Structure 1
Amino acid sequence: MLRLTPVVKNLLIINIVVFILQYTLQGMDFTGLISLWIIESDNFKPYQYFTYMFAHGGFGHILFNMLGLVFLGPLLEQFWGPKKFLIFYIVTGIGAGVLYSGIEYWRTSQLESDVTAYIIEPTPDHFSKFADEHGRYFNSKVYDFANDYSKNPEDPYYINQSKEIVKGTYQSLLKGSSMLGASGAIYGILMAFGLLFPNTQLMLLIPPVPIKAKYLVLILGGIALYSGLNRGSGDNVAHFAHLGGMIFAFIMIKIWQQSRDKFY
């Protein structure tokens, strides 16, 4: 029988309560207030580095995150104690948000620079290059437009329309790019488990096969890195937040292992 430890139990309750509030307070955009927005957005607030990790995008999202929390969290809390486990959970969650923000800041700056360059020199070739480099922000219709634009390179309509599409890409990013979920902290828990109990067999849900913790950490870390670097159109998963949780978890555990005389 699964036994919940105090901190894990309280974190589970908080996540469930916040999830309920997200649906009961939709009129005041409660989810938007506590999600983590990119730094350039007017919606960004520093407190979101903490609040985003208690919000979720749907039932499946919170279900899988909470399963990870209740199955692995109690073992770490018993191993470290409640206070140290809570510090670990919060720091890895915030760390995941920090890495996400840094990556998104770099991506947004690159996009802004490319937008400015295109506005200065709009041509069909430059538009096609822009669409290829920032394809994850577009749907397939933009390539139909690029094809028509290439056939009418001097047409003022296509020139002005291409500028609006390019500028709209950046504006849409500012208005719609946010992150939420406990995944960063959960990936941190997984990293900790893999480092502390590397040969423990874990049973996957999909597919239902056993795997050693150390191998699961390597696989999921590799997937997060690959997916983050090759993020495609329609991919709304914050892969670098997952990776950030694992990185901060690794750093914290190595520091604690070198300072065994200090117990938080």
Structure 2
Amino acid sequence: MAKCDVCGKDESMPYNCRHCGGTFCADHRLPENHDCTGLQDWNDPQGVFDSGFDNSVNGGGSTSRASSLVDKLPINTGAGGPLAYFRGNATYTFLALMWLTFLAQLIVQLTLTANVYRALFVLTPQNPEYIWTWFTSIFAHGGFMHIVFNSIVIFFFGPLVERYVGSRNFAILFLVSGALAGLGQIAIQYVQGPITPLTPGVLGASGAALAIMGVLTVLNPNLTVYVYFIIPAPIWALTGLTALASVFFIGTGGGGDIAHMAHLVGLLIGLGYGEYVKRTQNVRTPSQFQLGGGGGGPGGPGGPGGRRRF
């Protein structure tokens, strides 16, 4: 059961507006019946009806050039093409890239050396000048349960944030928060002790995932998340516990091979961006959400070479 955001009526089969994210009964499901925030941006090319990837509605010179380049690709990128599902769906695009990268990791592990593996996928304190690893390390993961855990969080929470901020801004948030989270972990490693050949690097999308949670925490702190579809908890509590755990383990130097500074940096970026969105945009958020998935967490050993997972 869910309550209509307009009249408060209990609905066993509620409607969720894909433009504002609200929950409504049959009488208020249409955008014009619930004062949808997307209506005011109907004629705004940068508003909620813009996918963030296709800017052809602008009609500008730079957009026309971009469109002409896309048209030259040997793949049908139109609405009926094989890539149509990913247009306006940055969340699922990133999830696909994560799993493709994980497959590439397995192939490299079987065919190449550990040094090559680290140079391709792991952001290391020994070689932070390998700029490509700032981003490949976001999509790489240290084990099956590691990528499953991050995929669950991104799959459930990512579309909500993408719906509020647009695909382009979501993509920027994901990449920037993920890269800065990894660099933040590298920085704390320099502060905590000398860097040796055995000092672990970092990899994983948890920094970006926690940035996504941070945005939702600001926009709707009382959003009820049903963990494993059973245990209700407000998202602010989940976010707060994560932040406290990260601060504790950073202060004590514990936490095993989990990159807690990366978690904290990603979360702070999400909270800051969420506050910006809250102040500059009028967004409508749902009152409850279900989060479930397999057991295990982002920690645990695995793969060639030492590294911290986040």
Could you say if the C-alpha distance between residues 31 and 69 of structure 1 is closer, same or farther in structure 2, counting changes exceeding 3 Å?
farther
Local SS of the residue matching 1:37:
coil
CA contact under 8 A between 1:36 and 1:44: conserved in structure 2?
A: no
Deviation digits for residues 174-214 of structure 1 (CA, Å, limit 9, x no counterpart)? 33411100010001111111111211110123x94110111
Could you tell me which runs of 5 or more consecutive residues in structure 2 were left unpaired when the two chains were aligned: 1-17, 19-85, 283-310
Partner residue, 1:216: 238
Q: Which has the higher strand share?
A: 2
Partner residue, 2:61: none
1:184-263 alignment runs, 5 A limit: 184-205=207-228, 208-232=230-254, 235-259=256-280
- Deviation for aligned residue 1:46: 2.5
CA contact under 8 A between 1:91 and 1:248: conserved in structure 2?
A: no
- The whole-number CA distance in structure 2 between the counterparts of 1:202 and 1:223 is 19
Partner residue, 1:73: 158
Task: Determine which structure has greater relative contact order: mean sequence separation of CA pairs < 8 Å that are 6+ residues apart, divided by chain length.
Answer: 1
1:25 aligns with 2:108: yes
- Deviation for aligned residue 1:37: 0.4
CA contact under 8 A between 1:31 and 1:55: conserved in structure 2?
A: no
Partner residue, 1:135: none
- The whole-number CA distance in structure 2 between the counterparts of 1:260 and 1:198 is 16
Partner residue, 1:93: 178
Could you say if the C-alpha distance between residues 224 and 187 of structure 1 is closer, same or farther in structure 2, counting changes exceeding 3 Å?
same
- The whole-number CA distance in structure 1 between the counterparts of 2:281 and 2:91 is 24
TM-score, structure 2 length as denominator? 0.57
Local SS of the residue matching 2:233:
strand
- The whole-number CA distance in structure 1 between the counterparts of 2:117 and 2:152 is 22
Local SS of the residue matching 1:24:
helix
1:8 aligns with 2:8: no
1:171-186 alignment runs, 5 A limit: 171=196, 174-186=197-209
The amino acid across from 2:212 in the alignment is I
- The whole-number CA distance in structure 1 between the counterparts of 2:230 and 2:152 is 15
Deviation digits for residues 72-127 of structure 1 (CA, Å, limit 9, x no counterpart)? 0011111111111111111211221222122111123xxx4xxxxxxxxxxxxxxx
Could you say if the C-alpha distance between residues 86 and 225 of structure 1 is closer, same or farther in structure 2, counting changes exceeding 3 Å?
same
Q: Which has the higher helix share?
A: 1
Aligned residue pairs, count:
193
Partner residue, 2:11: none
- The whole-number CA distance in structure 2 between the counterparts of 1:256 and 1:79 is 9
The structure having more radius of gyration, on CA atoms, is 1
- The whole-number CA distance in structure 2 between the counterparts of 1:257 and 1:102 is 30
- The whole-number CA distance in structure 2 between the counterparts of 1:78 and 1:259 is 15
Could you tell me which runs of 5 or more consecutive residues in structure 1 were left unpaired when the two chains were aligned: 113-169
CA contact under 8 A between 1:192 and 1:250: conserved in structure 2?
A: yes
Local SS of the residue matching 1:179:
strand
Local SS of the residue matching 1:236:
coil
Local SS of the residue matching 2:130:
coil
- The whole-number CA distance in structure 2 between the counterparts of 1:212 and 1:18 is 33
The amino acid across from 1:36 in the alignment is L
- The whole-number CA distance in structure 2 between the counterparts of 1:229 and 1:37 is 21
The amino acid across from 2:163 in the alignment is Q
- Deviation for aligned residue 1:250: 2.0
- The whole-number CA distance in structure 2 between the counterparts of 1:20 and 1:78 is 29
Local SS of the residue matching 2:198:
helix
Superposition CA RMSD, Å: 2.4
